[in-house]
Amino acid sequence: MIKRFVIVALSLTLVFSGIFGWKAYQQKQFDERRAAGGPSAVTVSTTVAITESWAHKINTVGSLRAIQGVEVSAEVSGVVADISFVSGSRVKAGAPLLQLDATAEKAELRSLEAQLELASQDYERAKGLAVKTVLSQAQLDRTKSILDSLKARAEEQQAFIARKSIRAPFGGELGIREINLGEYLSPGTPIVTLQQLNPIFTDFSVPERYLNNLAVDQIIEVELAAFPSEVFEGKVSAISPKVESRTRNVELQAILENSDRRLRPGMFARVAVLLGGTSEVITLPRTAVDFLPYGNSVFIVTEEGNGLTVQRRQVTTGRVIGPRVEITKGIKAGEQVVSAGQLKLRNGQLIKVDNSVVLTGGATRG
């Protein structure tokens, strides 16, 4: 029994020794081949820092706002008797939008009108009697007072009935209907939004240090996420007379033409206020810059004996206009930098340049 156990143990030892020995031999061969071939090169895309003429601008952000915009609502309570508009339609000023039931109020008005007619006749008779000195002046005045009171009540009832008919306060574009036929509305209940879209305002703010460079009718350029390839031009229409004490910013308002009504209130806008003049700046594509918490950097391409390598270099960035960013410090015009594929790189890394395809630049983009 012991002899059999020893034979089995020796056999297993020989088998495992052979396996481990073969694996060690394979790993040694692999390491020797990798050492002989040198480190592998990473494929990246590159670009060259260039000098451009950029206009002097103040870059900021803002939002679009309608020249006139309102949530149309009920002024008095009542049941919806008629809806005269379609969601998303355009209306002119004064166009009827909604009618609340005014049956009881109109009946009350007819009663007042009948009383007013009788009071008018009484007053005319009283005037005739007063001429003949049959009626005293006090009685005539009392009759006149009753007539005037009924007139005022009738006018008040007419005004109340008019408030049951809701009309567009100005021409514009309607939003989505928020009420239904037969629904009871209390005062202030929103019915539909109404926005005048042409022209349209842009509201934005700039730091107080630029206040001396601002003026009404100054040209602005607006970029919107909905239309990334377009730049919309407008003019500054108003500058706030005060600086906000919390932010030390001054509020501005500009006006944009919007005849095609593509621009909508509430849109986020990137605004550039043109100050006049230009300056020469060094720029790179935004994808070439790693925007990191501890500082912005780029990978500079250098040529060594065994090929192209990269070195990370800290840079100072300035303005960002469209897809390009200004480099104020850390790079010279003509230097070659990596524009995509930075996540795979480290200092001294060998690279292979392939600008025929657009590679991903990683998740550190600004």
Structure confidence by residue, pLDDT tens digits, 91-101: 888 888 888 88
By the 8 A CB rule, do 157 and 109 touch?
Answer: yes
Architecture per CATH, 102-163: Orthogonal Bundle (1.10)
At residue 47, the pLDDT reads 86
pTM for this prediction: 0.56
By the 8 A CB rule, do 55 and 277 touch?
Answer: yes
Q: What are phi and psi of 167, to 5 degrees?
A: -120, 160
Whole-number Å distance between alpha carbons of 52 and 326: 9
At residue 11, the pLDDT reads 66
Cite the residue boundaries of each domain of the chain with CATH code 2.40.420.20. 42-53+281-353
At residue 114, the pLDDT reads 79
Show Cβ contacts of residue 165 under 8 Å, excluding neighbours closer than 6 positions: 96, 98, 99, 100, 102
Once rounded to an integer, what is the mean pLDDT over residues 178-190? 86
At residue 359, the pLDDT reads 42
Architecture per CATH, 42-53+281-353: Beta Barrel (2.40)
What DSSP assignment string belongs to 315-344? -EEEEEETTEEEEEES--TT-EEEEE-GGG
58-67+198-277 belongs to CATH 2.170.8.10: no
Whole-number Å distance between alpha carbons of 74 and 164: 8
Cite the residue boundaries of each domain of the chain with CATH code 1.10.287. 102-163
Residue 30 reports pLDDT greater than 70? no
Whole-number Å distance between alpha carbons of 286 and 275: 24
Whole-number Å distance between alpha carbons of 234 and 237: 9
pLDDT in tens, 318-348: 877 778 888 888 888 888 888 887 787 788 7
Count of Cβ atoms closer than 10 Å to residue 13 Cβ: 10
pLDDT in tens, 43-81: 888 888 888 887 777 888 889 998 888 888 888 888 888
Q: Residue 254's pLDDT band (boundaries 50, 70, 90)?
A: very high
What DSSP assignment string belongs to 155-169? HHHHHHHHTTEEE-S
pLDDT in tens, 258-283: 888 888 988 898 888 888 767 788 88
What b/e string do you get for 337-357 counting C-beta neighbours within 10 Å, with b at 16 or more?
A: bbbbbbeebeeebbbeeeeee
Class of domain 75-100+167-188: mainly beta
What is the amino acid identity at position 74?
A
Residue 221 pairs with which residues in a beta bridge? 233, 272
Cite the residue boundaries of each domain of the chain with CATH code 2.40.30.170. 58-67+198-277
At residue 361, the pLDDT reads 36
Once rounded to an integer, what is the mean pLDDT over residues 306-315? 82
- More confident of the two residues 44 and 201: 201
By the 8 A CB rule, do 264 and 197 touch?
Answer: yes
Cite the residue boundaries of each domain of the chain with CATH code 2.40.50.100. 75-100+167-188
Among 312, 307, 218, smallest CA distance to 271 is for 218
Residue 226 reports pLDDT greater than 60? yes
Residue 31 reports pLDDT greater than 60? no
Q: Residue 253's pLDDT band (boundaries 50, 70, 90)?
A: very high
pLDDT in tens, 108-154: 778 777 777 776 776 676 666 665 565 666 766 677 777 777 778 87
